[in-house]
Amino acid sequence: MAAIKVHGNPLYTASARVLACLFEKGLEFDLVLVDVRSGQHKAESFLSLNPFGQIPAFEDGDLKLFESRAITRYIAHEYADKGTPLVVSGTGKEMAVQSMWMEVEAHEYDPVALELVKELALKPFLGMQSDPAVVVVEEEKLGKVLDVYEARLTRSKYLGGDAFSLADLHHLPSLSYLMNTRVKELFESRPLVSAWVADILCRPAWCKVMEMRRAGNEVHGSPMSTATCRVLATLIEKGLDFEFVNVDMRSGEHKKPHFLALNPFGQVPAFEDGDLKLFESRAITQHIAHAYGDKGTPLVFPGKEMATVSVWMEVEAHQYDPAASKLLWELALKPFLGMQTNPAVVAEFEPELEKVLDVYEARLSKSKYLGGDCFTLADLHHLPSLNYLLRTEVKKHFDARPKVSAWVADITSRPAWCKVLEMTSPK
């Protein structure tokens, strides 16, 4: 076990800053993933490492540090003889210049960059609307900072001098997000800034950080997609970290080559778990449930119990979902999109749904859940369509069956599903 431990998450800019520094120095370390979604950073065990409840926290033997820039400075000085020199030795003029540009990054560049990351990268990722007024103000501020950088880079290759240093490295985490947004144009319109960005983003140490970011689970989908929400619910039930990559279906992004490489049918979601790529939401949920069987909520079981769960998973997919999906389209999505509901389709599929719910009522008189006495994928798979149907006139069919009604109330109130709704609801 390495003496150095980083408690954090590579998706977060401050954690990534520390990881980049460690990779530049070629140091061995252990990454202890902190589940921010579940509030692990506010637990007493983490607060003993960082009393502000923010990631990262850092341990080097008996030394405990927090604040990412303080950590990188410690690493750069303490391990000066290792890897890439990131600070000038001594306290002379060169170090003073480096320190000045490190301060510029922290107090002039970063506050603006983080606002833009929030508005242009994180909010769309969470299905929230960016605030155009904030973006305009912060873009203007960023432009002014980059003008100063352009002037500085006429005199040296890097901000701190002629060698790459912490003054440059500290920019990398926010740059990696901003260069995937419209503000990329602000960097590219300044030739020297553009060359500097291209240089530091392709450093091998930073590429390793990006590999760590991609090493976990990625869900490519849309917040409105029932199939996407099925996968999100499973990941949250299992307590797994994941990255949600929003696919803009209005612009046809799901039909473009980069997405078709993940799902050749051009449908959401697509899923990545390291080098494994999957599509079809129920196949994805089964992979998650089996591959991470020791995590979070048990959603599948061995032997005969699993055979029963599988029966009701198939019932959901082939008996319940065809009718539910038709009714969802006609009664929920069409009105939302300003389209007219087709009464003939509703009249055809409402009785089909009722037949299924009669079978469910009988089944639920024998067990608390469809697959047995525990919540499983057989129940979870219903949640996304239920979310829409319970807001329509067909809610009466669920309410009219006492066992079904109790089951619906139970599964739709699960904390994991509530998190999915919070994550995907328009803000």
- In this predicted structure, the answer to whether residue 281 has a pLDDT above a threshold of 60 is yes
Angle CA 229–231–232, to nearest 5: 60
Residue 10 near residue 209, CB atoms below 8 Å: yes
Least confident segment among 45-49, 100-104, 194-198, 400-404: 45-49
Separation CA 415–CA 411 (nearest Å): 9
> What is residue 246's predicted lDDT score, i.e. its pLDDT?
84
pLDDT band at 426 (very low <50, low <70, confident <90, very high): low
Tokens 């553009």 correspond to 194
- In this predicted structure, the answer to whether residue 213 has a pLDDT above a threshold of 80 is no
Least confident segment among 54-58, 221-225, 236-240: 221-225
- In this predicted structure, the answer to whether residue 222 has a pLDDT above a threshold of 60 is yes
> What is residue 215's predicted lDDT score, i.e. its pLDDT?
56
Residue 2 near residue 28, CB atoms below 8 Å: yes
Least confident segment among 197-201, 229-233, 238-242: 238-242
Q: Of 89-98, 196-205, 210-219, 255-264, which has the strongest mean pLDDT?
A: 196-205
Q: What is the mean pLDDT of the segment spanning 295-318?
A: 93
> What is residue 19's predicted lDDT score, i.e. its pLDDT?
96
- Each residue's pLDDT tens digit, 351-398: 999 999 999 999 999 999 999 999 999 999 999 999 999 999 999 999
Task: Give pTM, 2 decimals.
Answer: 0.58
Residue 395 near residue 409, CB atoms below 8 Å: no
Beta strand 242-246 pairing with 276-279: unpaired
> What is residue 337's predicted lDDT score, i.e. its pLDDT?
84
